[in-house]
Amino acid sequence: MEASSKGIFWLFLSKFFPPIINFTVFAYTARILAPEDFGLVALALAIIFLISSFMPSGWRDAIIKYQISDKLTISSIFWFNLAVSLFLSVIVIVFSLFSLFEFQTHAFNLAITIFCLKLIFDGLFYTLNTVLLKQEQYFLIALRTIISAVISAIIIIALLLLDFGVWALIWAQSILSITNFFAVYWPTKKFIGIQFSMASITRLNSFAMYSTLTNGVTSILDHYESVIIGSVLGKRELGFYNIAKRLSAIISDIFIATVNEVSFPLLAKKQEKITELRKAFIDCVYFSVLCLFPLFTFCFINSKQIFLLLFTEKWLSAAVIFQAFCIIFTFIILGIPQKNIIILRNHAKWWFQLQVKISLVIVPLTTLSAFWGLNTLLLSLIFGKCLYCSFSMWKSCQLLSLSIKRYLVSFIVPIICCATSAVVVISITQFIPNSQFILLDILASAAIFFITYLIQLFLFERKKLVIIGLTLLPNNHYLTKLAKKINNQDP
């Protein structure tokens, strides 16, 4: 039990400490560099990520799936990943030698060539990191994550202070990947030998090919829009888009990922009994909306002040893009429990097919919309997330024999409370002059918004909140007493 507690502690430390470091460096870098610099790096990285979608990631997943421990198989997977990454790097270098597109400036071609180091070492790192995950070496994983974040921060700041400019970001990305590899190589080197067996690779094909394809499609859908924006609208527009996306990703990694980690085990425990699973699903969706919708609603209405505080006035054009991500995240919040239900009910293949079918619509639509400007492209991205959410909602409700009306009604009250709180904040702040300190304005807006939100919840959803609280904390004496008090007050 003690070892398990320590493992959980290190997992949480590795999850929250690096984002704080990355966010601090990210905000500092944005104040120094221009949008065009961020756009150049974002476009080069997006192409590298698209190329890396063809990496044989499924064979890495097979190490955990089949609990592989023998040195020959792990060595074969390691060298297989290295061979593929070298082959893909040659393609990237050839691409950089022939400037076929307008965005391929000398700086861009040099940047994408340097990022080949990232492509190679990331492939090796993920293979060895999977071995650590299989062995549940959480301390080593956490230590590697924290050390890498600190090293990356030091490198970026040092290179910026030495006036390397955009090259500080470029070299820091590659050096970070190299550092990550050596950090995991030392504790796993006993599993790697100079040996290779094609038979070990081919016997994993049935699982690994499907997993590689699924991971590849997901990776492409995560990065394709950056390539479209950079090539069609230019590096400056991509710089604004990238800064908004990175800020959104930091918030998402901390909050949405945390809720997902809470909801998935809860649903998994109830998967054998459809009635209990249905109730757990409704509770998970309600809890997600209750906690995260007010956060993104607040960020939406205060996006300009947030960007002024963090990144200065030169990044204000990214505030509208950030608002679009806030809308997108509302669909993601609903989609996570829905996806979990689909997977738990053994319909992962249906989910993959849905991704492919919708991408065949959304990717061309996004490409065409880019020619009408960034705002039109953002609308197409929102539409795409809405489609995913709608189809997964229909499927999850069907699998649980749950009516869509009952599903929507289950979380309507927190949404109304969010909308009401937003209207109250906007109405009040119109009559209050802005102070000289942006942080004070944001804090005042936050106090009005969240106090209004909590008062409404207390008035209309007190009983439901106590029930969910007892589900998560069944031995809490305060919640037990409050539940008895509420039940005695009921007619």
8, 271, 277, 334, 427 from 340: Cα distances, Å: 22, 11, 11, 11, 39
Q: Where are the domains of the chain?
A: 1-233, 234-425
Tell if the pTM clears 0.75, that is, is over it: yes
Report the mean per-residue pLDDT for the chain: 84
What band does 487 get if pLDDT is binned at 50, 70 and 90?
low
- Average pLDDT of the residues in 412-417: 92
For the chain, how many helices (H) and strands (E)?
Answer: 21, 0
pLDDT, position 455:
92
For the chain, percent of residues with pLDDT exceeding 90: 35
Tell me the per-residue pLDDT of 328-349, one tens digit each, with 9 for 90 and over: 999 988 888 888 888 778 787 7
What's the CA gap between 411 and 338, in Å, rounded? 14
Do residues 442 and 303 make contact, with C-beta atoms less than 8 angstroms apart? no
- Average pLDDT of the residues in 364-374: 92
Query: Which carries the bigger pLDDT value, residue 279 or residue 470?
Result: 279
Q: Which of 305, 306, 177 is nearest to 247 (CA)?
A: 306
Most confident of 16-20, 202-206, 389-393: 389-393
Alpha helices, H only, 135-253: 138-161, 166-188, 198-202, 205-228, 235-251
pLDDT, position 390:
94
Residue 126: pLDDT over 80 = yes
Q: Which of 267, 260, 286, 259 is nearest to 344 (CA)?
A: 267
Q: Which has the minimum average pLDDT: 33-37, 198-202, 247-251, 314-318? A: 247-251
- Average pLDDT of the residues in 467-472: 66
What band does 321 get if pLDDT is binned at 50, 70 and 90?
very high
pLDDT, position 426:
92
